[in-house]
A and B are shown apart, each in its own frame.
Chain A
Amino acid sequence: MIRLQNIEKVYRTDTVETLALNKVSLEIAKGEFLSVMGPSGCGKSTLLNIIGLLDEPSKGEIRIDDQKTANLSDKQLAQFRNKKLGFIFQSYHLISDLQVLDNVELPLLYRSATARERKQLATEALAKVGLSNRVKHFPSQLSGGQKQRVAIARAIVGRPEIILADEPTGNLDSAMGNEIMDILIQLNRDEGTTIIMVTHDENMAHKTHRLVRLFDGSQVQ
């Protein structure tokens, strides 16, 4: 489903050139739950951003569903992300000025859905993560675990085929972390969603189908 070929990412400043990813090649099958591990600064998040089409590789090719993603316009990329991808971030990135329901509806704003459809889908997504009773709350009124569950609801509301999670349990204690992990596993198992998760936590990584390790931008496992 996702195919990375010789992906390189170089960050350049006037004086320094940093190789963040070095010839990474990876194939991820549909329905797979993959975790990416490695020390800080090894390129995990860069890899996730490139898969999520939030960043471009300096060299190499990405294909998602056999479609080349290079040369897509800003609008096409936006549509592609909207339809195929869902994101979960370590620091949740909820919009603090919007209520939980409005936050979850966000991806649906960028496709043709009526207000009623948006509300219905968002309510369903919130029910899946067990937050039906928090729809009118603002993010600041929620605990860390609840915020991450809202973020998961936002990621799944548009029924994307792929979910990219960047340290989703990184800011949570182990009990809450496990809860979030359980939701992701269930999502992968029941709905067949492909999940790629960056993590620092060996225990979490071992719950996934496959583990990829990076070191200094290169794939070591």
Chain B
Amino acid sequence: MLKNYLKIALAVLRRRKFFTFISLFGISFTLTILLVLTAFIDKVVGDNYPDKKRDRSLYVSRLSQEGKNTMSSSPPSFYFLTHYAGSLKTPVKIAISSGFNGTNTYVNNKKIAVNYKYTNAEYWDVLEYDFLEGKAFNKQQVDNGDKVAVISQDMKKEYFGDVPFVAGQYIEADNVKYRVIGVVKNVPITSYMLYSDIYLPYTVAKDGGYKTNKGYQGGYYGILLANSASDLDKMHNEYEQMVQRLPAEQKQFTKVNSHADTYIKSYVDTGNERQSGTFIVITAISIFAFILMILPTLNLVNINITRIMERSSEIGVRKAFGASSRTLVYQFIVENIILTLLGGLIGIILSIIVLKVINSANLIANLELSINFTVLFIGLLVCLVFGLLSGVYPAWRMSKLNVVTALKAQ
């Protein structure tokens, strides 16, 4: 039976080449977009380099203060993270780092755009960067305000060229020379709390904000590390209680909000208490995926109705010789699934090409996208959903066709 369906499905595909092209193009193009999108999301959310201890870490990326008619939201200050978050009992370590800042530097009269960020010494304990050479700066060096730097693999190549080792050499950023003490594997810019080209001790920050700013809000992120994953709830609650006790800094504010959340929650934190970032992101992605899928599906439904109605004589014959409506619906759905799987296969090949192009063009700093099994699985699932969605309605309409009418149509 299936072999027979396969034969006829392929024959129909060959017969109407233009329709087949449109159908396959619709499916494969949509699938490519979905696959690239999921590869992107998968990389951003799923990749745990260098924060390999995600299962026992909570991230603090925002702090907001709200009043009746006003609200202020930003990352917390260095002071807040050391003084308040630092007073908590559950975290065993706190990684603190500034957001990355951009500057230009020059090598052999060539301008290089550089992003740098400041971190504390514990940052290197909490996070597990892969060191290609050298090591991180320690507490002593931070306390001393040593002008030392850890740089990324790409930065090394761009600044120093293809040399085996650079530890001990000097790199200039923002008109200051730093001694390179370590080189780490790249972190994609999408991990915005962890990405940088150059990592510097916070004590060398020119603005001295870590010293002078005693407010809650600033430009630093914190990662609280618990002893074990089972302590996460406790740490979360302790943080929440600490924040609740904080008095507002100014009269116009009545409340301080900040959360120590898991990676994904903090990644999409909007700083707005009434609208969860996670909810917004999931809704946005779902709506996008839905629209993306519904358009080619409707197109396919339309094409399928035309295609199936063209075959009404065949439907009449099959019914006359004993096919029930259900059998016919099954046959047309199988045919449709074959078509969509074929489109899926083309889509997967297209996606591999598109991802290769994105990676080689280096459109997003350090982001290496790849098709993995999760993405492939999602892709195939999407294909099947497509096949079902676009096959069921036309097949059902067709199965209701009166045999005599169907046989009269030629």
Contact = CB atoms under 8 A, between A and B. Distances in A.
Interface in B355-410: 402-404, 407, 410
B321 A75 contact: no
Given A97-B11, A98-B11, A115-B3, A110 B320 contact: no
Interface in A60-90: 74-75, 78-79, 81-83, 85-87, 89
A195 B7 CA distance: 33
Contacts of B12: 97
A74 to B, nearest CB: 5
A97 B320 CA distance: 18
B390 to A, nearest CB: 21
Contacts of B327: 78, 110
Nearest to B9: A97
B403 A75 contact: no
A2 B165 CA distance: 97
Contacts of B291: none
A78 B316 contact: no
A185 interface: no
Interface in B182-234: none
Given A102-B4, A110-B327, A52 B322 contact: no
A98 B8 contact: yes
B267 to A, nearest CB: 52
A75 B407 contact: no
Given A54-B404, A98-B11, A81 B322 contact: yes
Interface of B: prevailing SS: helix
B313 interface: yes
Interface in B267-326: 313-314, 316-326
B4 to A, nearest CB: 6
A98 B14 CA distance: 13
Given A95-B8, A102-B7, A109 B1 contact: yes
Contact of B407 (A85, A93, A97, A102): A93
A93 B317 contact: yes
Nearest to A91: B410
A87 B313 CA distance: 14
A87 B8 contact: no
Contacts of B110: none
Interface string B53-85: 000000000000000000000000000000000
B321 A97 contact: no
A20 B116 CA distance: 89
A217 interface: no
A55 to B, nearest CB: 5
B15 interface: yes
Contacts of B4: 98, 102, 105, 109
Contact of A75 (B8, B313, B324): B324
A111 interface: yes
Nearest to B317: A93
Given A91-B410, A95-B8, A97-B12, A107 B324 contact: no
25 contacts: A49-B404, A54-B319, A54-B320, A54-B403, A55-B403, A55-B404, A75-B324, A78-B319, A79-B322, A81-B320, A81-B321, A81-B322, A82-B322, A87-B317, A93-B316, A95-B8, A95-B314, A97-B8, A97-B11, A98-B4, A98-B8, A98-B11, A110-B322, A110-B323, A158-B322
Given A54-B320, A93-B313, A102-B4, 19 more contacts: A49-B404, A54-B403, A55-B402, A74-B324, A74-B325, A78-B322, A78-B325, A78-B327, A79-B324, A81-B319, A81-B321, A82-B322, A85-B320, A93-B317, A97-B8, A102-B7, A106-B318, A107-B322, A111-B322
